[in-house]
Amino acid sequence: MTTTDDELLRSVADLYTAYDPAPPDLADGVLARIAVEGLEIEYELLTLVERVDVNAGIRGADTATTGTVALEFAGTAYRVLVRISAAEGGGRRIDGWVLPTVPMRVFLGPAGEDVTAHTPLTAYSDLDGRFEFSAPMTGEVRLWLLPLAAAEGTGESPQSPFVTPPFRV
Amino acid sequence: MTMHGAAGSGPTSSDLYDAATDAFRRWRSDDDSALDELVRMMSPVLWHVVRATGLDREAAEDVVQNTWLTLVRSGESVRDPQAITRWLCTAARREAWRVSKAATRTRPVEDDVIDARLPVQSSPEGQVVENDAKIQLWQALARLPERCQKLLRIVAWEPRPDYSSVAEGLDMPIGSIGPTRRRCLDKLRGELGSAS
């Protein structure tokens, strides 16, 4: 039996493909990092229009972990409501709503300069514009929102992506 | 949305290289969705290029992401669209060696020399285990010297890799990569022949 070098190498590659497959979400992680990259250039920065501390006691480092905070951000085309509350397990959770209800990919990442050094968490808004992060990172964070391409055939092009100012979780 | 089954069509497939070149060209002419396509078709290849350097899975994922960020930041520096796959593979390999050398100073890098036993099947393709040819190939590879295992894993993903980035990582003179590759392939063929 004679095997060419290319055939042999091809079967070595096939072998590793089978035994050491790339993570299924590898490309999604890459795209999330790329999406966050260059955010200051292309993303519309929303402004905070309202902040409500629900059942907040004395503002401080300790009470901040139990109270619920509601934030509202607005830009030229979209409005985003964010609620940060206590999760059942003792951590925090973020519930968000975006209006109008265009399907969106939502990223949550640290607000610092080195944001692209981290892989942001990803969520998608549902038909009601709702999205959630049940186990968000804490500290100073921002949300990046990317309207997804309009449904096939509608001919609408997706709107520009936008980002919230930093807020504390 | 175009779906590419590129990852399954084999690393040495010229279809993949053509598709990547085409997607890169379209991205250059401001078609943003083409980058999406390029990432989806080339990330699995970069995964193997990086894993061939011995990095663990988590570090490998970071290196793949950083490679793409480098492209996005400096895509203009890729002069010839036809060189895109080579550019990506070389950038990924260099970054992987850099990370793996930094890592060995603090902790041992995952042992990347294959074991003669079959690995625990981590893909859903359970049928692979039953594939005699694959088992024989695995065992034949395991009998090769470590350097051959590493080199063959590298060239399996890129028929003509940038030899300087390979030589640097394997601590071999550039001039010996070609002959070593030849010898390793012959050894592998010999092992396969003697096993059957």
Q: Which of residues 47-106 of A touch B (CB under 8 A)?
A: none
- Asked if the Cβ–Cβ distance from B12 to A6 is below 8 Å, we say yes
Looking at the structure, do residues B32 and B81 belong to the same domain, yes or no? yes
The answer to whether A12 contacts chain B (CB < 8 Å) is yes
For residue A150, list chain B residues with Cβ-Cβ distance below 8 A. none
pLDDT at B154 over 80: yes
Q: Which pLDDT belongs to residue B120?
A: 46
Q: How many CB pairs under 8 A join A and B?
A: 107
Domain with B34, as residue range(s), is: 13-120
Residues B152 and B62 in one domain: no
Q: Which of B88, B120, B152 is the last residue of a domain?
A: B120
Say whether both B18 and B114 belong to one domain.
yes
The residue ranking higher by pLDDT, A169 or A112, is A169
Same domain, B76 and B170: no
- List chain A residues with CB under 8 Å of B7: 17, 22
Residue at which a domain ends, from B65, B89, B120: B120
- How far, CA to CA in Å, does B43 sit from each of A50, A112, B53, B72? 42, 27, 16, 14
Going by pLDDT thresholds of 50, 70 and 90, the confidence category of residue A35 is confident
**Residue A154 above 70 pLDDT?**
no
Tell me the per-residue pLDDT of A48-88, one tens digit each, with 9 for 90 and over.
888 888 765 444 444 445 678 999 999 888 899 999 988 87
Q: Is the model's pLDDT at B1 over the cut of 50? A: no
B47 contacts on A by Cβ (under 8 Å):
22-23, 26
Instruction: Please tell me whether residues B31 and B116 are part of one structural domain.
Output: yes
Number of domains in chain B: 2
Confidence of residue B37 (pLDDT cuts 50, 70, 90): very high
Query: Is A5 at the interface with chain B, CB within 8 A?
Result: yes
A29/B20 Cα distance (integer angstroms): 19
Q: What is the pLDDT of residues A95-143, one digit of tens each?
A: 999 998 888 888 888 876 555 556 678 888 888 899 999 888 888 888 9
The answer as to whether B1 is a domain residue is no
Give A55's contacts (C-beta < 8 A, 6+ positions apart): A67, A68
Could you tell me if B46 and B92 lie in one domain?
yes
Both B94 and B179 in a single domain?
no
pLDDT above 90 coverage of chain B, percent: 38
pTM of the model: 0.63
Of residues B57 and B78, the one with the higher pLDDT is B57
Kindly report the nearest CA distance between residue B173 and chain A, in angstroms: 22
- The CATH number of the domain where B63 resides is what? 1.10.1740
Q: Does A31 touch chain B if contact means CB atoms closer than 8 Å?
A: yes
Claim to verify: residue B47 and residue B111 sit in the same structural domain: yes
| Cis before B161 (ω within 30) | no
Give the list of residues 6+ apart from residue B35 with CB closer than 8 angstroms, or none: A34, B23, B27, B72
State the ipTM, two decimals: 0.78
Best residue of B185, B186, B194 to probe chain A, by most A CBs closer than 10 Å: B185
